[in-house]
Every structure is written in structure tokens, then in C-alpha cells.
Structure 1
Amino acid sequence: MTLSHFSSPLLGFSQAAGNSALITFAIYIFFVFVIAGMANRLQKGKSFVGEYFLGSRGLGLWAFALTYAATAASGGSFMGFPALIYTHGWSLAWWISGYMIVPLVALGLFAKRINQVGRIAGAITVPELLRRRFGNSYVGNAATLLVVFFMFFYLLAQFKAGAEIMATLLDGVPIYEAATGWIAQAKEGIPWVGQSSADYLLCLVIFAVAVIIYTAYGGFRAVVWTDVMQGLVMAVGVVILLVLTLSQVGGLKNATAKLAEMTPPEFGTALVEVSGDGSIADLRRGDWIATSDGGMARLNATVTDSKEPVEILLLTTPFEIESVKEQAIPGAVATISEREPYAHGAGDKGGYLRAPGPARTQSMGFLPVALAMSFFVFWNFSGAGQPSYMVRQMAFRDTRVLRRSIVMVSVFFSMIYFPLVIVFTSARVLLPGMEIYADRIMPEIAAHVTDLAGVPWLAGLLVAAPFAAVMSSVDSFLLLVASGVVRDVYQESINPDASEERMRKLSHAVTLIVGFLAVLVVLNPPPYLQTLIVFASGGLGASFLMPMVLALYWPRMTGAGAFFGMLTGAFTILSLYFVGYLERGAFGEYNLFGIHPIVWSIVATGVVIVSVSLAQRPPDKALVEKYFGK
């Protein structure tokens, strides 16, 4: 008997749960394609560009509110955010608190005015709105390039999240296991993809094909309708997951008491030996191994040689150590070579219950007070500056829909994010040592609590929630990038007289190509899912928030002010991320004086826009009167 029979790196799903998960997924995808087909039929007889990219500006309450909310609740919300909660604890409630008022700030600041200006300009995309507002093509071209650049990073993160979710969703399904075995052999020696796991590659392809095809086929209306369905799935899934998790952990009071006794794990290296019938070759990343000093270690890499140290994670809390001993590989012992305590919170009981939260590399902790305050600003103003949200604000039917949507989206966010903090702080108690698989904690806890509750068939529904979040973001981002290329580059600058049929074919082709390029890049995925999302979100907010606010409300603003303002925002945030890379040796932001780069970018952008605009002649009177009246 091999060692792998005793332990699995991830909990995954049981055979029954895996089959039910596959059925759930198949039904879900079926309805997605039905919706895309219905949306495609409705496009007939209408202007292709206006219908395909903006749904003819006719969204009602449920459609507008849920497409806005579902687009905001991306893979970061259900993969990256839970990973951070699990790793750093209750300080994430501070970190996300500003998100609850994003609808008030973003919709209240922009929605009515951007919808109004968009209708006056006849604009379908954000770059087109800026181009027509200032009567300058270079403003629109710069906006298009920035949208495509930062949105591509967003797409990478979402594709990775979708593949990670599916890898856990389908674990244990026979046909899936057979397919991954074949891919594992086929990928050996292939550049770029050889280091990625077979299950990830298979799931990435399945996810990408599904979302790219239905987005290309159905357009904006298909995206909106699927967002409504996905938004409902997310809300129901989170509520069920909250109830099951609290019941398994013994209630919030018991979870809090356990967290109060918990200390952060340590990373390090160890030499691993196996006695008896086992073999080093049977050990896999994620296996639990007893240490020579009586502790428990989890492999953070595959063991290839008993004479070479392997990366491990070491538990430091006594009750956690006891809880995983029965999962230890028989006959395997780890002799610790090196320990790496957390830079902040090492040995500190209760650190997961208070700010700034434990942190492996940050000596000041995960969330110092100044950074918490800047994140409050970050979520609201970067959210307001997202072109994917702006384009939805150009599509609602009337102000009555807008007013009700602000309340509805705020309630939706509160139903999602605060329960997630409770669920994934409790997950620390139920699933120790998941720091090495932090981005998979959402599907793993779904599998765990449904199995303990005796309802493994429910796992498919719970995992559909994060899957819906990812799909609702990917389709929106794909469409946004495609609209930038087709409408803002091809039709505006290359072929203004392009026929409807040509625009239709080009829109489908660009959507497919952009999706394909994103898949190629993420075949060898980056390790920092949430960091990538924060970077893309911050970059878009830095580039578009101040230019759009002043374009909508300040008649004196000029095209040059908008152009240099957008470039300043992008340059500022890119520079601070570059400094962060030099400081850490890894991708991440540099928080000057403890303040997030988005704050510095907003300030710099505002100063540049005002300075450049005032240094020039006032804009054309006719243009000002068109958008602001006499």
C-alpha cells in the first residue's frame, strides 16, 4: 500500500459529492448557454454595437443592481479575500469595511451624471465618452490603452480563480481524474505549462471555453442576465455556508475562544525520512508529517530526496497539532532544519482576533491603522473609478432604478462580505495549515462542512457561489476589453464606416482572442491572486477616478488635463508598485508613509488635471454648453 492512500493534500470532495458537484456544474453551464442564446436572439433587429456592448440602455432594477453587484463580487471576493481572512484573521473586517458604502460613493457620485452625459454623447464605452466630452481622439486612445492594460491583469486573476475553484469542484469525479492523469503525462517537458498541475490546466481550459463562448455569443445582455442569476447564487451560497460553518465549529463564541488561543504557524525546511513499506516518491505537497520533536508539519513542496531539505509549514498551537495527528503519513518523520517565524505575531495568542493581524513578512502586521484608513478610501474611490462599473451606470433605465439600486447593492454587499469574515476566521479552527493552499480555502471549507453535516450533495451548490462570482467578472471584463478594441480603436480610428455585420464578426473575434491570450499567460499562474486584483483595481481607479469626476462636473477641464491626468495616475501607481518590488523582491505595493498608492495617485492626478487645464485656454464654448447647458 502506498502512502498516498493514507492522506490527501486537499480534502476535496467525496465520490458522491464529486458526482453531485459535476451535475450541479453541468446544469449551471446549461442555463448560462440558454441565457446567451436568448440574448443573442433579442439582438436581432437592433443596432448591434449599442445592444452588444450596452444592452440598449434599458436595464431595470434587478438587472442593473445585480449586474453591478455581481461584477464587483469577483474571484477576489470568493478566493483572494477568504485567503486573506484565513491568513490574517479578523483584521480583514477593517480591510473590507469601506466596501459596504461603495454603492453610495460610486453610484451616488457617478451614476446619474454619467448616464446623462453618455446619452448626450451617444457614447457606448468609457473611452468614447471621454473622447466626445473633450472632442479629442488622443484622450480616448489613452483611456482605451489603460483599460486594456489594467483589465488584462484583472482577467488573469479571474481565470486563475475559476480554474482553482473547478479543480476542487471536480475532485474525485472518475472521468475528471482520468483526464488529469493523461494531461499530467502529456505536459511533461513542455515549456511554460510543465510546472503547472494537470488538474489546474484542465480546469482552466474548461472554464475559459465556457465563459469566452457565452460572452462572445450573447454580448452585454447575456452578461447582465447571467449576472442576475449568479448574484442570487452568491447570496444564497454564502448564507448556507455561514450556517453550516458555525454549526460545525460550535458557534461564533466557541470559534472566538479557539482563535484566542491560536498562534501563527511557522514556515521552514526539514529533512524527511520514510520507514517501513513507504517511499519518498509517495509524498506529495500538502501531506501531514510528524516531526522529530513531537510536532506536526505540512509539506509545502514535493519531496524528491531525503537528503535535500523540503519546504514545510509547522503548526504552533497545541490543539491544532492534536487535531491533525490522525492525518499524519505513517512512517514519515520530518527533522526540522530551519524555522521562519512570522515577522509580526509570532507566538502571540489572540493575534487573529485583533488588528493589525499576523503577517509573515510585514513587521508592522498586515493592517496598521494608517493602511486600514487608506483602504477605506481605496475601496470607495477605486471602485468608483472602475470602467466596468461605469459602463453599467450608462445602461440603467431611469433615476428611479438608480435610487433603489443603491440600497439593493449595499444590502447585497453586507450579506456577502461580513459573513465571509465569520466563515473564514472559523475555517482556521476547522482546517489548520491551509496557508499553503490559501487561495483554495473557499471550496475546501465548502467540501468540509457539507461532508461533516452529512449533505455532501450540497457542496456543488456552495462551490457554485464563488464560481458564479468569477464568471460574472470575467464576462464583464472580457466585454469591456473587446469594446475598447472594437469601438474605440477600430471604429473610431480605423474604419468609421464599418458595417453592422463587420462589427459583429470583429466583436466576437476580439472577445475570443483576448480570452485566449489571457489563458496563455495564466497557463503558468502567478501566485498572488488578491495582490493582482488589488493592483488592477488600483490602477484603473488611479487612471479614471479624477479624470471622470472632473470631466462630468467641471466645465473648465480640458482634454490635455484629462490626458495627462490619466497618465499621471497610472504612472504613480506603477511607480509605487515598482518600488514595492524592489523593497520586497516580490510583486506588491509600496505604502508611502503607510498609505496605499491609490491615495497618492488620486492626489497627484487631481493636481495635474487642474494645473494643466488652468494653464490652457478654456475649452470650446459649444462643447461646454452641450454637456453643461448655457
Structure 2
Amino acid sequence: MTMSTPMLVTFLVYIFGMVLIGLAAYRSTTTLGDYILGGRRMGSVVTALSAGASDMSGWLLMGLPGAIFISGISESWIAIGLTIGAYLNWRWVAGRLRVHTEVNHNALTLPDYFTHRFEDTRKILRVIAALIILVFFTIYCASGIVAGARLFESTFGMSYATSLWAGAAATIAYTFIGGYLAVSWTDTVQATLMIFALILTPVMVILALDGVDTSLLVIAAKNPANLDMFKGLDVIAIISLLGWGLGYFGQPHILARFMAADSHHTIRSARRISMTWMILCLAGAVSVGFFGIAYFSNHPEQAGNVTNNAERVFIELSMLLFNPWIAGILLSAILAAVMSTLSCQLLVCSSAITEDLYRPFFRPGATQRELVWVSRIMVLLIAIISIVLAANPENRVLGLVSYAWAGFGAAFGPVILISLLWPRMTRNGALVGMLIGAATVIIWKQNAWFNLYEIIPGFLFASLAIFIVSLMGRAPSKAVTDRFQQAEAQFQSR
């Protein structure tokens, strides 16, 4: 199925609009702080929707509906785990991280925060954290490029190889030009588009099937197990799916949204907006996959593309059920999801190279203009590497995301969470926790012990290592403890 002229026009208008936002942001980007965190002046709505959009990548409209379409409602345990994890991240981490990064020498990146939080004069934490970001984010970026390529392949009839470059081009353009402001402003537009698509599409599918009751009868007739939340799942499988929620504490592209808020007072209203948006989007994504089972059971002649690749279920339903103009808007939502996450991931990667490797080790006296342009060049470099990694047409979005999500969740999650709640944590505790978390994910992934999602042992072992090593070593200096108390007191102020 190829894209009609109205759908093509809608698509191109959307892409052009995103690039225009990047050009507008370019005029407000003069320093590295502007390029990386937008000058820490984001309000509650932008903070909320930007955090949500940067979190919910192409897997929301492709990976999750595809998993539900194949396995039934039992795959929705992922959505439950993510909702719990996101809420706790907003409650425990968001406001504190905003304050602690500012108190610790106005840190612009997570490696920068680790360095100052633990007075790491040897900069070991900075280097290790930056390398972890580069490794796992390059994989994560590849997942976004795969999702974009699938969209262009399905709708334009392009080859997969051509789709890789076409899908990534617009995102690279506005991220390169406008930095954090462009990413945040476009995220707000993209989050609105995503929720519109994920509410409207399942409603139209249900109407096409003559209601919810009829849909459920069709789904049950195809396979009654599709209605079973525990289908084929044992305790370990359910824990693994819920374990996705642990990843939130360590995702640099989401944590950067908290750091860029105009103050920690903004976080409370941002949390309410973001969680409402997230719950509606996840419910919509689950509904697309679930009711898609019924639709394609009733219309097997239209199911060819979905049978070959279940991650196309949202794409196919949009093109089959809607006027081409509306379908163009809905399919733009997939590109919005891809662009919103890919853009902030590219930005975090370039920030890690520029702020945590280039400036401290190679050019301490670099001007702000030089640093901004180095960041822009790094955006291009990381994007090209990610495109190369995504070149295998057999790649699946959810598989790539799960590996990168686990890597960040285990390597950074315990370090971030404990550093914000426990003043006794030491530099060596942070270093060992980070290394054990990352190593556990890599080793566990290769061996697939107990079929347990690797983020769970990674998070657990890293947390234990942080506490044990910190308690075995010398207590933090008075300066470190005083900064922690200062930040906590500022956070508690209303």
C-alpha cells in the first residue's frame, strides 16, 4: 500500500513545520547551556509533554500495538509497569534532580552532575558515564531510526535502505539547528499529535466492528487466550514486564527534561499533565493492538502486511479506516513519536561528547560558540552511526528499545535515585554501581538466565553494590554533605 497525494501533502507539511520550529529555536540558542538544556526555562506544560514525548518513542505506536496484536492483552503488563515507574520517577526524582543539578555547579549533563555531586577530581565518573550514554544511546537511536524506516517503507513504498535516511533526515535537521529549545517545542506539538492519534484510531476501529461487545466476541472466537491477562505468563514473565518501570530512574533523555524545568515548583503540575497524557496514550496503544485483532480477523484479505510484521498494525488501520487527509495526520503521529525521542537522544549523546569529554579533556578554554558547533557536529556523527546500526531490515523496534532501556535503567537508575535520597553515598559506590549495572545487563542479556528481563538483576545488583561500597569507604566530605543538605532544603521549600 502506498501513500496517496493528500497523505503525502499532510506528511510533508508536518515535517516542514518541525524544521521551521528548529529555525525559530536557532535564534534563541547562543550558549552551550541553551543548546543542551534550553537555559533551564521550560514551563510545566512543555516540561510535561516533552518528557512524555521523549519517553514514548516509535515503540508506542508500533512496538506495543504489535506485541498486543500478536499475544493479546497479556502484553499490557508492560504498560502497567511503565505507568508505575513513570509516576515514581516524577515523585522521587524530578524535583530533586532539578535542584541538585543546579546546586552542584549548575551541572548540564548527568556525567557533569556525578562529577560534582561526589567531588570526583579524577573525572572517572564523567568518562564512564559518558561512555555508557554513547553505547546504549546509539542502540536506542537505532531503534528510532528503524521505526521511522518502517513508516516510510510502508507508506511511501520505499526500499528499507532509502527509508532509513528519509526517516531520520528531518529529525537530524531540527536537532542540529535548534538544540534543546527546538526539541522541546517540537515535542509539545508531537505529544499533542500522538494523543490525538491514539484516542481516535481505536475508537474508529471499534465503530467499524459495531461496538466493543462485538469486538470482544470476535477476539474471543479467534483465540480466547487473547482476553487473558495471564496468557502464557508465569511469575517471572510478569515481573519482567512490570520491571520496565525501573528503567525510568536512569533514562538521560527523560531526566534532562526535569533538569531543564524553570524551577522545582513547576514539577508538580507537570507531573499531573504528563501522567494523564501517558495513561491515555498507553491505553490507546493497547487498544489499537487489541481491537486490531478483531478487525483483521473480520478482514483477512487486508491483513497481509500485518501478518508479515505485526508492528505495522497502527499504520495499516490508519490507512484503511480514515480519509487520506486524516490518515496523513495520524501517520505523522508515528513520525512524531520517532522524532521526539530520537531528537533528544541525539542531543544527549552530543552533550556527553561535548560537555563531558571534549571540553574537560581537550578544550577547557573553548568558547560557547565553538562548543555549540561541536555539539551540532556530534549530532550528525551519532545519527550516521545509528543509521548504520539500523541497516538490518530484520530489526524489531521493541527488541532494540528493551536492551537500551535496561542498560540505562540498571547503570544510571540506582545511582541517580540513591544519590538524591542518601547523603552517605560515595564516589566509589557510584562508580561500582554504574559498572555493575551496565555489566549485568550485557552479560544477562547474552545468557537469558531464567528468562528474566535483564534490567531487574542489573538494578538490584547495582543498588546493593552502591550501599555496600559506600558503607565500606570513607564518608563524603563536609562540602559534599553540605551541598546535599542545601539541595534537600531547597527542594522541601514551597
Name the TM-score, length of structure 1 as normaliser.
0.73
Match of 2:492? Answer: none
User: How far is the alpha carbon of 1:496 from its aligned partner?
Assistant: 1.2
| Displacement after TM superposition at 1:149 (Å) | 0.8
Deviation readout 1:243-300 (Å, 9 max, x if unpaired): 21111122211111011111xxxxxxxxxxxxxxxxxxxxxxxxxxxxxxxxxxxxxx
Instruction: Select which of 108, 111, 120 maps to 1:127.
Output: 111
1:482-513 Cα offsets, whole Å, 9 max, x none, are 00001100112221111122212211111111
1:355 maps to 229
| Counterpart contact for 2:66–2:311, Cα < 8 Å | yes
Q: Any idea what the Cα deviations from partners look like across 1:519-558, whole Å, max 9, x if unmatched?
A: 1222224433201101110110000111111212222211
Residue 551 in structure 1 maps to residue 419 in structure 2: yes
Show CA shifts across 1:203-258 (max 9, x none). Answer: 22112221112101100000000000000000111122122111112221111101
Deviation, structure 1 residue 100: 2.3
Hey, what does 1:345 align to over in structure 2? none
Q: Which residue of 1 aligns with 2:216?
A: 256
| Paired residue total | 477
User: Which of 71, 74, 86 is residue 54 of structure 2 equivalent to?
Assistant: 71
Structure 1 CA distance for aligned equivalents of residues 394 and 197 of structure 2: 28
The percentage of aligned residue pairs carrying the same residue is: 28
Q: Look up the match of 2:456.
A: 599
- CA contact 1:74–1:473 (8 Å) conserved in 2: yes
Question: In structure 2, how many angstroms separate the alpha carbons of the residues matched to 1:514 and 1:474?
Answer: 11
Shift of 1:115: 0.7
1:416: which partner in 2? 281
- Among residues 423, 428, 442, which one is paired with 2:314 in the alignment? 442
Q: CA–CA distance in 1 between the matches of 2:29 and 2:385?
A: 27
- CA shift at 1:407, angstroms? 1.0
CA distance in 1, matches of 2:394, 2:369: 38
* 2:281 equivalent to 1:381: no
Q: Does the CA contact (< 8 Å) of 1:483 and 1:507 recur in 2?
A: yes
Q: How does 1:109-120 map to 2 (within 5 A)?
A: 109-120=92-103
Aligned to 1:370: 236
State how far apart, in whole Å, the 2-side matches of 1:80 and 1:438 are: 8
Letter in 2 for 1:163: A
Cα drift, residue 371 of structure 1:
2.2
Question: How far apart in 2 are the matches of 1:550 and 1:246?
Answer: 45
- Secondary structure of 1:399's partner? coil
Q: Give 5+ residue unaligned stretches, structure 1.
A: 1-11, 172-179, 181-197, 263-348, 358-364, 581-589
Q: How far 1:470 moved relative to its partner?
A: 0.6
Aligned equivalents of 2:202 and 2:308: distance in 1? 23
Structure 2 counterpart of 1:587:
none
Question: So what's the TM-score if we normalise by structure 2?
Answer: 0.93
The structure with the largest helix share of the pair is 2
User: What's the counterpart of residue 159 of structure 1?
Assistant: 145
What CA deviation, in whole Å up to 9, does each residue of 1:45-66 have, x standing for no partner? Answer: xxx1100000011110111011
Letter matched to residue 162 of structure 1: G
Instruction: Give 1:380's aligned amino acid.
Output: G
Instruction: State yes or no: 1:139 paired with 2:125.
Output: yes
SS at match of 2:261: coil
- Residues 260 and 350 of structure 1 are in contact (CA less than 8 Å); yes or no, is this contact kept in structure 2? yes
Q: Deviations over 1:307-364 (max 9, x none)?
A: xxxxxxxxxxxxxxxxxxxxxxxxxxxxxxxxxxxxxxxxxx401111333xxxxxxx
Q: Provide the C-alpha distance between the structure 2 equivalents of 1:542 and 1:595, rounded to a whole number of angstroms.
A: 14
CA-based RMSD of the aligned residues comes to 1.6
* Residues 65 and 289, structure 2, Cα contact 8 Å, conserved in 1: yes
* Alignment check: 8 A CA contact 2:216 2:294 kept: no
Of the three residues 107, 111, 125, the one matched with 2:90 is 107
Separation in 2, partners of 1:578, 1:248: 44
Where do 1:424-503 residues align within 5 Å? Answer: 424-431=289-296, 432=300, 434-450=306-322, 455-503=323-371
Specify the alignment match of 1:218 in structure 2.
178
Distance 2:353 2:393 in 1: 25
Q: C-alpha displacement at 1:435, in angstroms? A: 3.5
Which residue identity is paired with 1:126? L
Any conservation in 1 of the 2:141–2:342 contact (CA below 8 Å)? yes
- Structure 1 distance, partners of 2:324, 2:465, is 57
Determine if the alignment matches structure 1 residue 87 to structure 2 residue 87: no
1:458 Cα shift?
Answer: 1.6
Contact 2:244 2:455 in 1 (8 A): no
Q: Which whole-Å CA distance do the structure 1 matches of 2:125 and 2:327 have between them? A: 48
Rounded Cα–Cα distance in structure 2 between residues aligned with 1:254 and 1:574: 45
Residue among 11, 26, 32 paired with 1:40:
26
| AA at the equivalent of 2:66 | A
Q: Which protein has the bigger strand share?
A: 1
CA contact (8 A) 1:87 1:435 kept: no
Deviation of 1:169 after TM superposition, in Å, equals 2.6
Report what 2:11 is aligned to: 25
Cα displacement (A) at 1:374: 3.8
> Residue 42 of structure 1 aligns to a residue in which SS?
coil
Q: Take 1:460 and 1:528, find their aligned partners in 2: how far apart are those partners?
A: 24
